[in-house]
Amino acid sequence: MLNSRPLPSVDSIHKRFPLPLDLKIKIQESRKGFQQFSSYHKALFIGPCSIHDLSKDLILGEKIANLQKEYPEFFFLYRCHLEKPRSNHHWRGFLMDPDLDGSFNLEKGIELSRKFMMKLVSMGLNLSYEFIDPFLTPYVEDLVTVGMIGARTVYSQTHRQLAATLAMPVIFKNGIDGRLDGAIDAINLNQKGMQTPRMGPHGPELVFGKNVETHLMLRGGVEGPNFHLVERGYEILRSRGLESKIFVDCAHQNSYKDCLMQKKLFQDLLLQEASGIQGLMAECHLEEGNQPFSTKPKGGLSITDPCIDFASLERCLLHYRSHHLVSQGEYS
């Protein structure tokens, strides 16, 4: 049985919710800035496992924007992940199902998501976004600084092709098996380029896609953490002639989805300046942990994977700052 209804065109959505010129320039500059690692210590991807309560998620955005001012040595990105890859759950993220009830009011999701993302960008935030459904990408891609291809889709030819068409840096996570080959194959294909169909603003089109700004993120696998494979990852990349950076996801299997382990790993890796790790990801919300999924969940507390609380994240950064000042001799 197939029930269908037409969706608004990408062009009509962009006309109704246009990206102001100043924000467009800011996003373009942030994409370039992400590639220029000489001016900061690490990129930090901070934010909820998933977006579900826009008012509370904006409050978190304000707090992260303040961190960006307080710690200019880091390049902060807000995890604005509005789509979710589903293995065994019906909810596919706020963009697809903003009412969390299986009604899939996609029109509402698209409109609210664009408004929400523009508010975050207007705060001065850079956004990361995991692209799940290629048909939805054109509705939001102009608002994203760094794209992600996740562990469940990194082997997908469709998602590798999608990444090649995105005018932004893209990070491939290793697959859920913990192996690096899938993500590195994806990087290789993107940096060489390929012909691919895609959904454009006026409908399907055929393009040649090439994305040299593609990178690797280690997120662990079914057998446990793999953040210790940074050096091995660079060896493989160099052997294939690839110029890429390596990041570490402190959540997921690198910390067994345990908040205490995630906090410790984030704090420990933050101090490792000579490790080759170019940035860290932490799943963080206003409150620690998560809650059972429901149609009326509490805001500020994850409804998907458990997150560390923002206060703990602040303490990790304060620990970094105090350690850094001591190592520089400023307390001597």
Cα-only R_g, the chain: 19
Cα–Cα distance for residue pair 210/94, rounded to 1 Å: 30
d(CA 116, CA 123): 11
Domains of the chain: 10-327 (3.20.20.70)
CA dist list (Å): 5 to 91, 92, 105, 106, 167:
20, 18, 11, 11, 30
Name the burial class of residue 98, with classes exposed (0-12), middle (13-18) and buried (19+) by CB atoms within 10 angstroms of its CB: buried
What confidence tier does 187 reach under pLDDT thresholds 50, 70, 90? very high
Q: Per-residue confidence at 206, pLDDT binned at 50, 70, 90?
A: very high
Q: Which residues contact 293 (CB under 8 A, 6 or more apart)?
A: 89, 91, 100, 303, 304
Encode pLDDT of 131-145 as tens digits.
999 999 999 999 999
Alpha-carbon distance 310 to 266, whole Å?
A: 13
- Report pLDDT for 332: 38
Alpha-carbon distance of 217 to 62, in angstroms, equals 26
Instruction: Quote the mean pLDDT of the chain.
Output: 94
- List pLDDT tens digits, range 190-201: 999 999 988 777
**Using an 8 Å Cβ cutoff, are 170 and 149 in contact?**
yes
Q: What are the tens digits of pLDDT across the range 33-76? A: 998 876 678 999 999 999 999 999 999 999 999 999 999 999 99
Confidence check: pLDDT of 24 > 70:
yes
- Contact indicator for 91, 111 with CB cutoff of 8 Å: no
pLDDT (0 to 100) of residue 55: 98
Share of the chain above pLDDT 70, in %: 96
Return the structure tokens found at 204.
Answer: 């399907």
pLDDT score of 248 more than 90: yes
Q: What pLDDT, on the 0 to 100 scale, is given for residue 294?
A: 95
What is the SS3 assignment for the chain? CCCCCCCCCHHHHHHHCCCCHHHHHHHHHHHHHHHCHHHCCEEEEEECCCCCCHHHHHHHHHHHHHHHHHCCCEEEEEECCCCCCCCCCCCCCCCCCCCCCCCCCHHHHHHHHHHHHHHHHHCCCCEEEECCCCCCHHHHHHHCCEEEECCCCCCCHHHHHHHHHCCCCEEEECCCCCCCHHHHHHHHHHHHCEEEEEEECCEEEEEEECCCCEEEEECCECCECCHHHHHHHHHHHHHCCCCCCEEEECCHHHCCCCHHHHHHHHHHHHCCCCCCEEEEEEEEECCCEECCCCCCCCCCCECCCCEEEHHHHHHHHHHHHHHHHHHCCCCC
The average pLDDT across 290-313 equals 97
Give percent of the chain above pLDDT 90. Answer: 87
What is the pLDDT at residue 331? 45
Residue 5: pLDDT band (50, 70, 90) is confident
CA dihedral 224, 305, 30, 141 (to 10 degrees): 110
Enter the tokens of residue 331: 């307390």
- Cβ-contact 113, 17 below 8 angstroms: no
Residue 255: pLDDT above 50? yes
pLDDT at 328 over 80: no
Q: Specify the pLDDT at position 3.
A: 81
pLDDT, residue 38, reads 66
DSSP β-bridge partners for residue 46: 78, 282
pLDDT for the residue numbered 4: 85
Confidence (pLDDT) at 275: 80
Has residue 107 got a pLDDT over 80?
Answer: yes
Q: Residue 295's pLDDT is what?
A: 95
Question: With 0-12 CB in 10 A as exposed, 13-18 as middle and 19+ as buried, what is 108?
Answer: middle
Query: Does position 330 have pLDDT exceeding 60, yes or no?
Result: no
Phi, psi of 203 (to 5 degrees): 130, -170
User: 280: closest CA among 250, 310, 317, 244?
Assistant: 250
